[in-house]
Each structure stands twice: as C-alpha cells, then as structure tokens.
Amino acid sequence: MTQQGDRICILGGGFGGLYAALKLDGLPWDARGKPEIVLVDRHDRFLFAPLLYELITGEMESWEIAPPFVELLRDTGIRFCQAAVTMIEADECQVRLSDGQTLHYDRLILALGGETPMETVPGAAEFALPFRSIEDAYRLQERLKALEASDLDRLRVAIVGAGYSGVELACKLADRLGERGRLRLIDRHDTLLRTSADFNREAAKQALSDRGVWLDLETSVVSVGADTLTLDYKGQIDELGVELVLWTVGTQVAPAIRSLPLQRGEGDRIAVTPTLQTLDRPEIFALGDLAACRDADGQQVPTTAQVAFQQAEYAAWNVWASLSDRPLLPFRYFNFGEMMTLGIDNATLTGLGIKLDGPIANIARRLAYLYRLPTWEHQLKVGLNWIAQPLRDVLDLGKR
C-alpha cells in the first residue's frame, strides 16, 4: 500500500515520461495518500516529435508542438524539475541531478529516450546536424536562412538515413528550397523505409521523385567535411560538395542509462519484462527508445512514438498497482498503423484497413496528432489556431 512520503520519479519528459506522469496523476490513489510524482527533463518544453518537420516549412509554430512543461502540468499534482540526470544510484534508490539535487525514489520510470550517435563517422559530430530535438530544428532553421540569403545558385543538402525521419525531412526541405534545392538521401541499405508498409514506401518513393530528391542507396558515408561528403558505393569512393549534411541515423541510450548495472537487450537497451519492469530491479520501469521489450504475446515491439505512448499507460498503471497491492498488467502492443508527412499538405497513412495519401491523408494525420497532444487545453488551443489559420491567410492576402 502507498505510504505517506512515497515518491515516483520519472526521468524524461517525452511521450513515455510525460504521458505516464499525467496518467499516474489521474489514477485513484487510496486514503493513505498519493505519492509525490516528480518529472525530470533537461529541457523546459515537451516536444511532440512527429510534428517537428512542420517547423521547417512554417506549417506549424513552435508553441504548438513544444509547449512548456509548467503550462502542461499547471493544474496537476506533478512536480517538474528541469535538470539533466547525472547519475542513477540503483542500490540507494536515488537519482542525482545536474542542479545538485538528489532525489530518493520508491518507484522509478526510465523514459529518457535516445540520442543520435554522431561519432560513428569521422567529421559527422563536427559538421553534420542531427534532427531530433527542438534545438536541432532551431539550428537547422538558422543554417537554412543563411543559405537562402547567400548568393549560391544551388543549395546542396545531403540527408543521411532513409528511414522515416530522413524521408520526411527530405520532402519538407525539398518543398522549402524549391528550385534552388539539390537534395540527396543516402542509406547503406538497398531500399528506403525498410520496416514500412509497401503502400507508404511506394508513396514515399513517388514523393521524393516528384521533388527531384536523388536517392543514394547501398551507399555508406566515409567522412563528413566542412563542405564535402565522402561516400562509398560498392567500393567506389566519391567526394561530393555540400552546403549542409543532416544526420538521421541510429539511436543510442543516454550516458546515465549506459552506466546503470542492468541487464541489456538489443542495441544496449535495457531489457524489461512484459510488465515493463527491469529484470534486475522490479522497482525500476523502463519504456520507449531505451527499453528492449517484448509484449505479452512475445512480440518484439519497435521503438516508435506510438509504442512509447501505449507503454506510458501500462507503466503508469503498473507503478500504481505495485504501490497499491494490485496485479500488474503485461504490455500488449496494438499497431494502429503508421503516418508520414511527405511535404507540404501531403502525407501517407496506413492502418486499420485504411490506405490514404495526399492532402486527405495530411488532414487525417493532423487530426490524429491533435487528439494525441498531451492535455485537452493544449488540444483546444492548437485546434482553434488551425481553424483560424485560413482566415488569417485571407486577411494577409487582402493587405498585399
């Protein structure tokens, strides 16, 4: 049973961490008292990552996809700490933070997500830009503005990685740069979107072709320079001139997680049971990018936002159950399908027997993500802004 003074620490305020915290805050705690719920993240804002690409084309504003944690948590009992996690001391059940705090916990949820590894290829860390955070998007915006203001006739951009992020980024950049853009998408495999449905893959190929994006498949990056990119295609080395290299390849766990003495699964991720508890310590739960998880049916689940969103509900329930002497539930993953943006007002959607692409898919994608925004207040603000946007566009046109 919960005791006065119990504390639940949640590390990471992404899809897994924030949504688990909100779910925990709303569960019916017994008369002995609700534990303190502490959410820790080094950023001051939550990021709805699937809509990050819309910042590049100006289709959305940063406040829509990255609301401050203090705003989202204002009417809850959740305490927010903006700090980086420097150390997790599992034996002492405590977490050390970069601001000097040490937090004791009775239950711990690890939801720190992943980081883009930039040291795998010489020069990548120095000269390439990742695209995972709101700060990454801001840095890219600054580089693009500088390039667009330059005297260059052609703006040569290389995107490394032809997974979801690389494809979506390539289409948005192609639409933004227009005729000046010379984009190439590079991947060491023989096809793009290897884990995607055939319908989405074909729609993506067509969208890239329509925008003149060059595909370099079965091609590895040898090195990245200040204005060059060296590629290896089946043993043939070629050096290309570039103005910008974007890196969307790979995921690695955060340093604080790498130092934890917990059993590992695929890709150095933490192995968890179907109840999302770590194998070594049942008081520690893990989800999202850093968890190697098989669900109740033995299915290996992917590391996607959709999975983290679903895991957050189970993790919250199981933490509550473990403190309330109730049975824990094994995670069951339901694949609702997948959605991708493929440029301005263009998307593809498959799932639940539906296959859509083009503007209709874009509207469906927007509505689905609106529903997934973390609080109804933020959903309302964003929804009203979307409704009002066409009227503002008409008024702006009338002023010209």
For 127-161, how does the pLDDT look when each residue is reduced to its tens digit (9 = 90+)? 999 999 999 999 999 999 999 999 999 999 999 99
Taking the C-alpha atoms of residue 91 and residue 8, their distance in angstroms, rounded to an integer, is 16
Domain spans of the chain, in order of start: 7-42+83-115+252-323, 124-247, 338-399
Indicate whether 289 pLDDT > 80: yes
**CATH level 2 (architecture), domain 7-42+83-115+252-323:** 3-Layer(bba) Sandwich (3.50)
Q: Which amino acid is at 31?
A: A
Specify burial of residue 77 (Cβ count, 10 A radius: 0-12, 13-18, 19+). middle
Residue 2: its pLDDT value, please? 47
293 phi and psi, to 5 degrees? -125, 135
> Under DSSP, is residue 342 helix (H, G, I), strand (E, B) or coil?
coil
Region 218-225: mean pLDDT is 97
Interval 310-347: pLDDT, tens: 999 999 999 999 999 899 999 999 888 899 999 999 99
Interval 45-76: pLDDT, tens: 999 999 999 999 999 999 999 999 999 999 99
The least confident of 24-33, 275-284, 338-347, 372-381 is 24-33
Indicate whether 394 pLDDT > 70: no
Matching fold, domains 7-42+83-115+252-323 and 124-247: yes
Indicate whether 399 pLDDT > 70: no
Contact 196, 189 (CB under 8 A): no
Residue 266: its pLDDT value, please? 78
Q: What is the 3-state secondary structure (H, E, C) of 260-323?
A: CCCCECHHHCEEECCCCEECCCCCEEECHHHEECECCCCCECCCCHHHHHHHHHHHHHHHHHHH
Contact 184, 166 (CB under 8 A): no
Contact 275, 328 (CB under 8 A): yes
Specify burial of residue 11 (Cβ count, 10 A radius: 0-12, 13-18, 19+). buried
Residue 395: its pLDDT value, please? 60
Angle at alpha carbon of residue 50, lines to 155 and 98, rounded to 5°:
95
State pTM to two decimals: 0.92
Residue 298: its pLDDT value, please? 84
Return the CATH fold of 124-247: FAD/NAD(P)-binding domain (3.50.50)
